[in-house]
Chains A and B, each alone.
Chain A
Amino acid sequence: MPEPAIHEEHDDVLGRAFDRRLAGRLWATARAHHRLVWGSVALFPFITLLELAQPYLLKIAIDDHILHADWTGLTAVAVVYAAVLGALYGLRLMEAFLMALTGQRVIHDLRARLFEHLLRLEAGFFDRTPVGRLMTRVLSDVEAVSEAFTSGLFAVVADVVTLVGVVAIMLWMDWRLALVTFAIVPVLFAVAGYFRIRARDAYREVRRRLARLNAFLQESIQGMAVIQLFAREAHERAEFQQRNEDYRRSLFTSTRFEASLYAGVEALGSVALALLVWYGGGRILDGALTFGALVAFIQYTNRFFLPIRDLGAKYTVMQAAMASAERIYSLLDRGPEVETPRATRAPAAAAGRVAFEGVWFAYADERWVLADCSFTVTPGEHVALVGTTGEGKSTCVRLLNRTWDVGRGRVLVDGVDVREWDLGRLRRHVGVIFQDPVLFTGSVESNLTLDGDGGRVAVERALSAANAAALVERLPQGLATPLVERAANLSHGERQLLAIARALVYNPAILVLDEATSSVDPESERMIRDAMARLMAGRTTITIAHRLSTIHDADRILVLHRGRIHEEGTHAALLKRGGLYARLHELGAGAALG
């Protein structure tokens, strides 16, 4: 289960209950299931008809049979009544199921669209947006939207159809008595409206205070050590208690209005009943009304009150749904900044040449991480990137596989600007082995087949190249072995080996290795080193070195400093030169660069 995303005050703002633009887009989403929608809408009139038939059958039974002691006729009516009950049960069941099914399908479609959209968004977006917030969009906001269909829109249409039917049949049976009953409607609307508005405002306050309470609680949990160290427990407890009390009070206010609404409507229903007995009684005496009709009227009145009472609740549902829809569509409207261009250019030969030409890059504002950085790597060459922490070594990798786009200058892979490459092709062409081997839950195989069309052969080849074939054989179910969350059932070294194999599945011409800083056991270390040596043969390789000891045999070493290449050459040449690298090397004897 996900951790609930609580600290999101802006998610609690309720907007308008109906927004035509949003509703249009929602309808477009639901259109794929228009048959289900129309199917359930088509059921409404039949259901209403059967519902209205019940009190009328009662009237017939009383007036024509019971009062005339006609047992056979009564039995016949009872049989019809039973049939109506059965049919109604079936139809209502169908209606409810169709509605729920529509809701579920809409949720399913919206979720898929959202997730696929997120897959296309650029890295910068994920750096700025907490995963928890996105989880809320994908998991709960879509549910709220589907409520708009099931508990909101459909239910309102169904209620309106019922109301129209009830009004029509009451007028038809006895328009005078109907009008007397309707006299109470303005009062009903006034009462329902008054309490509903109050209840809604109170509910908003409840949400606001709950958000405050939860935010406070969450922060307390995270900063509990500080509270304890400064012995501020009592003070914080008082602050918390105040918010807790605020919340409880607002909750009670909300309950009061909600309960008053129900009680008020119920009381009005009884007043309507009294009216019926008083006026209807008089009309029975006049002979203008039968007993059965009066009984039927009493039942019709009940059916008349419920939809009006619940109208307000539906309003709140619609409001929440619209607010969620707004958030979902604003996410969907946000286009990816890094995309495959419309016209892509394929390189003449996929040899594995890399060139940075006057590259400038900043993650934010004008804080340049790379400033006029230029270098080239020829096919098959082994190059090591060196520099202290924060000098932009990893940034070079992100620009190379176009996780980010350069600010100025350009990055060429095999003579073509990465911004002109087909993104998928580029990333198959440039294999990256990350510092931290992230594996996903699923089987070992599903982590290695990547886009799914790699096939068994590619996986096996990659595994043996990465020295990981023996490891997989040792696993209880081989390739089918399931990985738990964070692949905790493998050792760090094993994860590293699998990550290396993964980078080899596409047989990339260019391999980028972001060296792991954390150490693994010596046995794994040796296997990893072996694997690396094998897979570097004949491939362009760029190593992001955190420990200088591992790069002595690189063809060329590039020293990054202040956003550009400060010096370059072989290990021996650089040492001889006695510059920055020589200093770093002296320093690096035994210690990590970070």
Chain B
Amino acid sequence: MCLAIATGLSLLIPWTVKHAIDALAADGAAAPLAHYVGLIVFCAVGNGAARLASRFAIAGAAQHVAADLLARLYAALQTFPPSAFARYTTGDLMARATSDVSAVRSLVGFGTISAASTVLAFVGALAAMMAVDPWLTVWAMAPSPVLVLLVRRYNALVTTRTHAMQDRLGELSTIVQERLAGMGVVRAYTMEARAAAEFAGANAALRDASAELARTQAHFTPLMGLVTGLGTLVILWAGGTAVASGRITLGALVAFTGYLGYLAWPTVALGFTLALGRRGLASMERIQQVLGDARTAADDTAAGVAPEAAVRFANLTFAYEGRPPVLRGVSFEVRPGELVAVVGPTGSGKSTLGLLLARLWEPPPRTVFLGGVDVTTLPLGRLRSALAWVPQDAFLFSRALADNVTLGRDGLGEGDVRRAATTAGIAEEVAAFPAGWDTVVGERGLTLSGGQRQRVALARALAAAPPLLVLDDVFANVDAAKEGQILAGLRAAAPTILLMTHRLRAAQGADRIVVLDEGRVVETGAHAALLAADGLYARLWRMQRLEEEIARA
């Protein structure tokens, strides 16, 4: 609407100039010059205001659309299980959230403005020109079809060469990425010269492809000038003849020049707008793909009766996509109030148990039960509020330590944080930081050691006093004395614990120990019984004792 007003007003300007000039020619001093001047200024201001309003409205709308899209994308990502994150890399998802969203923004914003003003400009300017002189309009538009064809061909060429250039850029990136990441190898084998030569080849190829593209793109601005110039030329010659023969006035001629100037940009921008549209649609498709992969959030509710803190694995066999099984026929249970430890060498499948219990990976139906209920039938929200799982690699956000523990959960006060931190054995260390619990973690903050990060993550799990605690090798970077102290505290703080560990000392005091080897349960029992059985557990135990001795030597 505003755009139409703007177009109308800006088309009025050449018209006014025409009348002013004609009046000057006809009436001389009697011409109401001030009248025309006023009209021009009015049109200019009106046009500016209307154009601004339209720009605000459309760009604003586009920015809203993009922001909404990004919000939807984020919500979709929140429903992604780890398997989906394994399918898309972080870089890929970031690219979709950044460049694809902004391509859609350009499509909705700039694309709409450009398309609408092109149409309006053509309709408006053509109508105005026809009103002044139909015959001259035909003359003026004569070169247009040729121009449109030229611009289309030009755009096709730009697209092909852009692709070629991007391919070269991809090749160069791969070389740079690989050589920088494998710098140790490059150095050890004195491959520097070779790396430099390969880089030089790809670099030169990219330069040449870019130069090819530039050669094509170099036509753009001159083409604009040519389009305007040709129009002026036609008007000058055909229009000039008409003025000379008295068929039209000089004012009409000047107005025509103005209208043609007005049309030059839309003509050239046509192809540009089309390319923008294509790219925007392709990006939209890529975003839709992510949105389509979102799990339905229907089972998000935490309401309902919380399942009892009892875990049962029943003949569980599990394999990650396309790989051999990591768990084979695993069966055991954790009764309320028990501490059950799962031990075994690296790669025996301990961690997978936790991932399946928390349904970060989907277990086969009727193999994993919580409180007697198949976890695959439990709403995710209810399942996860019933247990606290602490993974091996503790992830901390670049926020204050306190925020990392509370994660913004309602009803968690300073007291809960302190209590959880004390149990997790991290309270003293945090208190020693200058900023205490306000210390920001991460790239721009303090770097914590692996052990510290694990204990903060443990505190995070403990803060809400969960009925069931699932720990995956969280004592890997903690010394034996500290480990014993934390474990003692944990038993008091959490009623039921499932502890996965490769450190047998931590498992020693468990009510039951499940020994896993290559995905199978090979032994089950209490520490003393397992030692007496003299199987894998006993062997592992002796080795670890020896290791400790050596470390102390």
Instruction: Mark A residues whose CB is within 8 Å of B.
Output: 1-4, 6-7, 9, 54, 57-58, 61-62, 65-71, 74-75, 77-78, 81-82, 84-85, 88-90, 92-93, 96-97, 100-101, 103-105, 107-108, 111-112, 115-116, 118-120, 123, 126, 131, 134-135, 138-139, 214-215, 217-233, 235-237, 239-241, 244-245, 247-248, 251-252, 255-256, 259-260, 263-264, 266-267, 269-271, 273-275, 277-278, 281-282, 284-285, 291, 294-295, 298-299, 302, 388, 401, 403, 423-424, 427-428, 432, 434, 438, 440-442, 446, 449-452, 485, 502-503, 505-506, 561, 580, 583-584, 586-587, 590-591
A-B contact count (CB 8 A): 389
Asked if B217 contacts A403 (CB within 8 A), the reply is no
Chain B contacts for A7, CB-based, 8 A: 443
Q: Report how far A84 CA is from B232 CA in the complex, Å.
A: 12
Comparing B131-139, B155-163, B235-243, B278-286, the segment that makes contact with chain A is: B235-243
Q: Report how far A108 CA is from B201 CA in the complex, Å.
A: 11
Within 8 A of A (CB), among B182-200: 182-200
By beta carbon, the residue of chain B nearest A387 is B550
In the complex, whether B44 has a CB less than 8 A from a CB of chain A is yes
Of the residues A62, A226, A266, A273, contact of B395 by C-beta under 8 Å? A226
Chain B contacts for A241, CB-based, 8 A: 71, 74
Asked if B218 contacts A97 (CB within 8 A), the reply is yes
In the complex, whether B370 has a CB less than 8 A from a CB of chain A is no
In the complex, whether B508 has a CB less than 8 A from a CB of chain A is no
Asked if A244 contacts B44 (CB within 8 A), the reply is no
By beta carbon, the residue of chain A nearest B213 is A100
Asked if B203 contacts A112 (CB within 8 A), the reply is yes
Asked if B200 contacts A112 (CB within 8 A), the reply is yes
Q: Closest CB of chain A to B552's CB: distance in Å?
A: 11
Q: Closest CB of chain A to B6's CB: distance in Å?
A: 9
Asked if A74 contacts B55 (CB within 8 A), the reply is no
Q: Closest CB of chain A to B385's CB: distance in Å?
A: 6
Asked if B193 contacts A135 (CB within 8 A), the reply is no
Given contacts A255-B55, A485-B178, contact A237 B74 (CB under 8 A): yes
By beta carbon, the residue of chain A nearest B546 is A587
Chain B contacts for A107, CB-based, 8 A: 207, 210
In the complex, whether B413 has a CB less than 8 A from a CB of chain A is no
Of the residues A4, A126, A220, A260, contact of B98 by C-beta under 8 Å? A4
Of the residues B33, B49, B380, contact of A278 by C-beta under 8 Å? B33
In the complex, whether B25 has a CB less than 8 A from a CB of chain A is yes
Q: Report how far A220 CA is from B381 CA in the complex, Å.
A: 19
Asked if A266 contacts B48 (CB within 8 A), the reply is yes
Asked if A108 contacts B203 (CB within 8 A), the reply is yes
Given contacts A229-B358, A232-B407, A427-B190, contact A295 B67 (CB under 8 A): no
Given contacts A70-B244, A112-B203, A401-B188, contact A96 B233 (CB under 8 A): no
Asked if A440 contacts B360 (CB within 8 A), the reply is no
Q: Report how far A256 CA is from B57 CA in the complex, Å.
A: 10
Interface size on B, residues (CB 8 A): 146
Of the residues B63, B74, B196, B210, contact of A104 by C-beta under 8 Å? B210
In the complex, whether B309 has a CB less than 8 A from a CB of chain A is no
Asked if A450 contacts B244 (CB within 8 A), the reply is no
Q: Can you list 14 A-B contacts (CB < 8 A)?
A: A4-B91, A61-B236, A81-B232, A85-B230, A119-B183, A139-B173, A218-B90, A224-B77, A226-B397, A255-B63, A277-B17, A291-B21, A450-B190, A587-B550
Chain B contacts for A224, CB-based, 8 A: 77-78, 80, 82, 85
Q: Report how far A227 CA is from B179 CA in the complex, Å.
A: 35
Q: Report how far A411 CA is from B427 CA in the complex, Å.
A: 45
Q: Closest CB of chain B to A158's CB: distance in Å?
A: 11
Comparing B116-124, B219-227, B491-499, the segment that makes contact with chain A is: B219-227
Of the residues A247, A451, A580, contact of B190 by C-beta under 8 Å? A451
Chain A contacts for B25, CB-based, 8 A: 291
Asked if A88 contacts B384 (CB within 8 A), the reply is no
Chain A contacts for B196, CB-based, 8 A: 112, 115-116, 119
Q: Report how far A506 CA is from B188 CA in the complex, Å.
A: 11
Q: Report how far A78 CA is from B93 CA in the complex, Å.
A: 57
Q: Closest CB of chain B to A248's CB: distance in Å?
A: 4
Asked if A266 contacts B47 (CB within 8 A), the reply is yes
Q: Report how far A104 CA is from B222 CA in the complex, Å.
A: 20
Chain A contacts for B80, CB-based, 8 A: 224
Asked if A134 contacts B389 (CB within 8 A), the reply is no
Mark contacts of B507-546 with chain A using CB atoms, 8 A cut-off: 1 yes-contact digit, 0 otherwise: 0000000000000000000000000000000010001001
Q: Report how far A468 CA is from B454 CA in the complex, Å.
A: 44
Q: Closest CB of chain B to A523's CB: distance in Å?
A: 18
Within 8 A of A (CB), among B38-66: 38, 40-41, 43-45, 47-49, 51-52, 55-56, 59-60, 63-64, 66
By beta carbon, the residue of chain A nearest B444 is A9
In the complex, whether B125 has a CB less than 8 A from a CB of chain A is no
* Most chain A CB inside 10 Å of its own CB: which residue of B74, B199, B245, B409: B74
Asked if A440 contacts B52 (CB within 8 A), the reply is no
Chain A contacts for B326, CB-based, 8 A: none
Given contacts A4-B91, A96-B222, A115-B176, contact A281 B55 (CB under 8 A): no
Asked if B244 contacts A118 (CB within 8 A), the reply is no
Asked if B29 contacts A81 (CB within 8 A), the reply is no
In the complex, whether B24 has a CB less than 8 A from a CB of chain A is yes
Asked if A248 contacts B47 (CB within 8 A), the reply is no
Given contacts A66-B250, A584-B550, contact A267 B175 (CB under 8 A): no
Of the residues A92, A100, A403, contact of B214 by C-beta under 8 Å? A100
Chain A contacts for B11, CB-based, 8 A: none
Q: Report how far A427 CA is from B210 CA in the complex, Å.
A: 37
Q: Report how far A587 CA is from B540 CA in the complex, Å.
A: 9
Asked if B91 contacts A285 (CB within 8 A), the reply is no
Q: Report how far A101 CA is from B210 CA in the complex, Å.
A: 8
Q: Report how far A6 CA is from B41 CA in the complex, Å.
A: 47
Q: Report how far A590 CA is from B199 CA in the complex, Å.
A: 45
Q: Closest CB of chain B to A290's CB: distance in Å?
A: 11
Of the residues B45, B221, B241, contact of A74 by C-beta under 8 Å? B241
In the complex, whether B431 has a CB less than 8 A from a CB of chain A is no
4 closest Cβ pairs, A-B complex: A3-B91, A270-B44, A100-B214, A96-B218
Asked if B229 contacts A54 (CB within 8 A), the reply is yes
